[in-house]
Amino acid sequence: MDDLVAELAGALGEANLLVSAEEKAPFLCDWLGKYRGAARAVIRPGSTAEVAAAMRICARHNAPVVAQGGNTSMSGGATPDSSGRAVVLSLTRLNSIRNIDTVGNTIAVDAGVVLAKVQQAAEEAGRFFPLSLGAEGSCTIGGNLAANAGGVAVLRYGTMRELTLGLEVVLADGRIWDGLTSLRKDNTGYALRDLFVGSEGTLGIITGAVLKLFAPLRARATAFVAVQDIDAALALLAAIRNRCGDRLTAFEFMTGDCLALILRHAEGVRLPLAAMPPAAVLIELSDQDDETALGERLEATLIGGVDAGLVIDAAVAQDGMQARAFWRVRESISETLVRAGKAAKHDVSMPISAMAEFVAATEAAVRAAASGVRPIVFGHLGDGNLHYNLLPAEGQDPAAFAALAPGLTRIVHDEIGRRRGSISAEHGIGQLRVDEMPLRKAPIELELMRSLKHLLDPAGLLNPGKLLPAGPCPLAPETEDDHGSAR
């Protein structure tokens, strides 16, 4: 045992320190199977104080620390590099619901609590926590915060940042910032909370959070709707928003090619429509009560859509079981893509008014660059967020496609740049997009980010190689290392 490992064992107990290759393996590979890293050890502290102790030890030994929650990152954010220097800090033993306040409508939780457990705790207290995404059975609140997760209800409730009131964070040197406030109004300076949300483990280790709760939604109406194209889907979105206001909770788009792929690869999933459409949207309205009125409102809106030539066909769920079957179609897309081959994945956002033009221009450009490439496009249309996945041509050698992928990514992201969009709407930069940052961010933005990083993590130990590419920091004294590692 080396000194670092021995000290960590002393602070956390040997049972919470994994050093054998077999024990470490699940923490060293990402969900998509794209990245494989190495680590000196995986540590599993059980409290904020233990996280702080571990951070002090790692800082003393100059050991990089990679925070990990449920390890469902879609950008390789929680996978260490291959140097084997890093310690992976798993938060999953910090898994208590700390407090629920049904008057203030807040829930305080440990960072390692799985999202589904928070949803369930809220429900048991007669409240609702709205963050919802396909990985909710395994992703953690800390990971959701560090990634500023989005999901399928952003349209109505916002991203994780908008759902958060307070944070508890352990800094790189082991100091603890107790920002666990439940205040909705607090104008006492810079918004430190918002800095840590979305920082992907590069500024501090989130150990706890106070989140907002909402009134429960007892009425739901769900429809699976065939449309001609993204233009029609967007016109339908505008009509539904006009007619249903805040009741619109989800508006999920997928192309016919995406649906065909699901039917081919996902077991037990059936198309809710009579025929394969050119494109489809999954629509959900929700309300506090009166399911009948809500269902009538949805049907009337869809009939309006048929009359306006926007809706080709629609299936409205008659009960909860049917609604869940509709959602299964949508939720099986990520796994379907993994089964279908190594996709070039993009998670882009843009002004909603630019989406149809983006899809047309990008499809033409990628097809011209890679014959037979298969765009599999879906996403959270109401948020201006598309998951623009590109699969190799049928039968194409994976290595040949991998060689084309960076050029295809350049095309997709250039089209996004032209529309003042973002190359990461919700999955983060991680290691997947880190090399793109100098191309997509203004020098002044990178300079400010590097300065903040240097203030909070002067030794560059927190999740190195993620989010920020290597480069000079205006606050750091010039050293050789500045050009060789991500600080």
Contacted entry of ligand 2HG, ligand FAD, none for residue 333, CB cut-off 5 to 8 Å set by kind: ligand 2HG
Contact 262, 377 (CB under 8 A): no
140 binds ligand FAD (CB under 6 A): yes
Rule CB under 6 A: say whether 211 interacts with ligand FAD.
Answer: no
Instruction: Name the residue number minimizing CB distance to ligand 2HG.
Output: 334
Q: Which does 337 bind (CB under 5 to 8 A by kind): ligand 2HG, ligand FAD, none?
A: ligand 2HG
Query: How far apart (Å, rounded) are the C-alpha atoms in residues 378 and 323?
Result: 19
Contact partner, 139, from ligand 2HG, ligand FAD, none, Cβ < 5-8 Å per class: ligand FAD
**Torsion angle of C-alpha atoms 478, 483, 484, 487, degrees rounded to 10:** 70
Residue 70 interacts with ligand FAD (CB under 6 A)?
yes
- Partner interacting with residue 453 (select from ligand 2HG, ligand FAD, none; CB below 5-8 Å by kind): none
3-state secondary structure of 24: helix
> With respect to ligand FAD, which residue has the nearer C-beta, 118 or 234?
118
Q: Choose the binding region for ligand FAD from 9-17, 57-65, 135-143, 440-448 (rule: CB under 6 A).
A: 135-143
382 binds ligand FAD (CB under 6 A): no
Q: What, of ligand FAD, ligand 2HG, none, does residue 111 touch, CB below 5 to 8 Å by kind?
A: ligand FAD
Decide which of ligand 2HG, ligand FAD, none touches 91; Cβ closer than 5 to 8 Å per partner kind: ligand FAD
Q: Count other Cβ atoms within 10 Å, centred on residue 351.
A: 11
Comparing C-alpha atoms, which of 485, 349, 317, 344 is closest to residue 417? 349
Taking the C-alpha atoms of residue 13 and residue 20, their distance in angstroms, rounded to an integer, is: 16
The SS3 of residue 5 is: helix
3-state secondary structure of 134: coil
| 143 near ligand FAD, judged by CB under 6 A | yes
What, of ligand 2HG, ligand FAD, none, does residue 463 touch, CB below 5 to 8 Å by kind? Answer: ligand FAD
Site map 343..362 versus ligand 2HG, x via CB under 6 A: --x-----------------
Q: Which of positions 55-114 make contact with ligand 2HG (CB under 6 A)?
A: 74
The binding track of 455-474 with respect to ligand FAD, each residue x by CB under 6 A or -, is --------x--x--------
Q: Which stretch binds ligand FAD (CB under 6 A): 52-60, 95-103, 322-330, 423-431?
A: 423-431
User: What residue 166 binds from ligand FAD, ligand 2HG, none (CB within 5 to 8 A, per partner kind)?
Assistant: none
Binding piece for ligand FAD, criterion CB under 6 A, among 3-11, 67-75, 219-227, 436-444: 67-75
- Torsion on CA atoms 482, 439, 37, 401, rounded to nearest 10: -150
C-alpha–C-alpha distance, residues 226 and 275, integer Å: 9
> Which residue among 11, 88, 337, 434 contacts ligand 2HG (CB under 6 A)?
337
Residue with tokens 């050009």: 483
Given the complex with ligand 2HG, which of 93 and 161 has the nearer CB atom? 161
- 8 A C-beta contact, residue 388 and residue 412: yes
Question: Cα(397)–Cα(93) distance, rounded to whole angstroms?
Answer: 42
In 3D space, the residue among 363, 358, 389 whose CA is nearest the CA of residue 74 turns out to be: 389
Query: Is the Cβ of residue 75 or residue 106 nearer to ligand 2HG in the bound state?
Result: 75
Q: What CA–CA distances, in Å, run from 308 to 115, 222, 275, 301, 303?
A: 40, 20, 21, 10, 9
Interatomic CA distance for residues 257 and 336, integer angstroms: 12
| Alpha-carbon torsion angle 335, 341, 344, 350, nearest 10 | -40
Please, how many CA atoms are within 13 Å of residue 164, restricted to the half-sphere of its CB?
A: 30
Which H or E run contains 176? Answer: strand 176-179
Pair 216, 127: CB distance under 8 Å: yes
Comparing CA positions, the residue from 95, 91, 108, 96 lying closest to residue 55 is 91
- Between 74 and 209, name the residue whose CB sits nearer to ligand 2HG: 74
Smallest Cα–Cα separation from 62: which of 3, 122, 11?
Answer: 3
Tell me, by CB under 6 A, how many residues bind ligand FAD: 37
Q: Give the nearest distance from C-beta 427 to ligand FAD in angstroms.
A: 5
Cβ nearer to ligand 2HG, comparing 200 with 457: 200
- Which residue has tokens 């500024």? 203
Q: Are 207 and 177 in contact (CB under 8 A)?
A: no
Q: Is 153 an interacting residue with respect to ligand 2HG (CB under 6 A)?
A: no
Which residue in 387, 413, 453, 466 binds ligand 2HG (CB under 6 A)? 387
Binding piece for ligand 2HG, criterion CB under 6 A, among 269-277, 299-307, 314-322, 331-339 = 331-339
Tell me the window of 230-238, 282-290, 333-341, 363-371 that interacts with ligand 2HG (CB under 6 A): 333-341
Q: Which does 130 bind (CB under 5 to 8 A by kind): ligand 2HG, ligand FAD, none?
A: none
Q: Report the C-alpha dihedral over residues 297, 300, 302, 306, rounded to 10 degrees.
A: -170
Name which of 37 and 70 has its Cβ closer to ligand FAD: 70
Nearest to 383 by CA among 216, 184, 155: 155
Please state, in angstroms and rounded to a whole number, the distance separating the CA atoms of residues 177 and 163. Answer: 20
- Which residues of the shown chain bind ligand FAD in the complex (CB under 6 A)? 31, 66-74, 77-78, 91, 111, 133-135, 139-140, 142-144, 146-147, 149-151, 200-201, 205-206, 334, 426-427, 430, 463, 466
- Which residues of the shown chain bind ligand 2HG in the complex (CB under 6 A)? 74, 134, 333-334, 337, 345, 387, 389
